């Protein structure tokens, strides 16, 4: 068994032990007995069907959507595991704002097969970093709580230090597509460890993909061979599927 596999086994054992001492409550529905109950797992709405080959948004025909043709994002492809609706929305909110960090591990478990089925030849997983102020306020990066166990389970290098924030940015919530793009313009810098590597950059939720595209741009500029993007959920307010 590899070192990474042993680390992941220890990680699983640690969470199982914590559940014994601190009986868990489901992050999706509040039911006692598990961190992420079977009912909530079954209610997750997987984002599938006909998707744009680049940005991963739903469309009516195969290929690249008109938006990506007109303004090509910097990543090779973006995919989201689920639609940003309950119970995923509630679970991510508790992970992000209620310090329910155990949700990260639980969500990574359910996402595992989805990521494997993408069949992307990734060498490392890099989470979108928080700004210094938000990191000080929260004490942890909620994306890292998902990305790290996912990397361990996939036996892929986890490289959180290969992407850093150069500047503080506003929350993207409520901003237009253009405002989102300007908000994260030149917001990141990448490390030299990405040279020649195929990188999976990861965030919790995406709407327009601006943050992931901006990060992919600097990863390529630092020598990455290829950059794919992944989020736990996708907000779809403009497609008549789910309103956020």
> Closest by alpha carbon to 159, among 125, 113, 195?
125
What's the token pair of residue 37?
Answer: 């109950």
Amino acid 79: pLDDT: 98
Give pTM, 2 decimals. 0.86
pLDDT of residue 174: 63
* Alpha carbon of residue 191 to chain centroid: 20
- Residues (pLDDT < 70) of the chain are 1-22, 168-185, 237-244
State how far Cα 56 lies from the chain centre. Answer: 14
CA 149 to chain centre: 12
Tell me what pLDDT residue 31 has: 94
* Domains detected in the chain: 46-234 (3.40.50)
Q: Assess whether the previous peptide bond of 42 is cis (omega < 30° from 0).
A: no
Tell me the two tokens of residue 203.
């965030």
Read off the tokens for 93: 């909110």
* 49 Ramachandran zone, left/alpha/beta (phi>0; psi -120 to 50): left
Q: Can you give the pLDDT at residue 167?
A: 73
Cβ atoms of residues 191 and 163 within 8 Å: yes
Query: DSSP letters along the chain, please?
Result: --HHHHHHHHHHHHHHHHHHHS--B-TTT--BT-SS-HHHHHH--B--SSB-TTT--B-SSSS--HHHHHS--SSSEEEEEEES-TTHHHHHHHHHHS--THHHHHHHHHHHHHHHHHT---SEEEEPPPPHHHHHHHSS-HHHHHHHHHHHHHT-EE-GGGEEESS-----TT--HHHHHHHTTT-EEE-GGGTT-EEEEEEEEESS-HHHHHHHHHHHHTT-SEEEEEEEEE--TTTTS---
């Amino acid at each position: 068994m590899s070192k990474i596999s042993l680390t992941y086994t220890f990680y699983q054992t640690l969470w199982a032990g914590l559940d014994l001492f601190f009986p868990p409550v489901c992050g999706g529905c509040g039911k006692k007995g598990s961190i992420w109950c079977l009912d909530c797992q079954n209610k997750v709405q997987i984002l599938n069907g006909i998707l744009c080959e680049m940005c991963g948004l739903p469309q009516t025909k195969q290929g690249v959507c008109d938006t990506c043709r007109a303004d090509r994002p910097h990543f090779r492809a973006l995919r989201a595991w689920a639609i940003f609706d309950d119970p995923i929305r509630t679970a991510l909110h508790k992970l992000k704002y209620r310090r329910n960090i155990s949700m990260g591990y639980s969500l990574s478990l359910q996402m595992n097969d989805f990521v494997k089925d993408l069949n992307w030849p990734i060498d490392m997983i890099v989470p979108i970093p928080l700004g210094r102020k938000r990191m000080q306020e929260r004490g942890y990066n909620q994306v890292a709580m998902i990305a790290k166990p996912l990397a361990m389970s996939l036996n892929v290098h986890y490289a959180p230090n290969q992407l850093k924030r150069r500047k503080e940015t506003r929350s993207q919530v409520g901003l237009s597509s253009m405002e989102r793009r300007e908000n994260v313009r030149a917001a990141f810098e990448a490390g030299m460890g990405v040279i020649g590597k195929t990188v999976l950059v990861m965030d919790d939720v995406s709407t327009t993909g601006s943050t992931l595209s901006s990060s992919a741009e600097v990863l390529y500029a630092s020598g990455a061979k290829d950059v794919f993007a992944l989020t736990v959920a996708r907000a779809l307010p403009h497609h008549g599927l789910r309103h956020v």
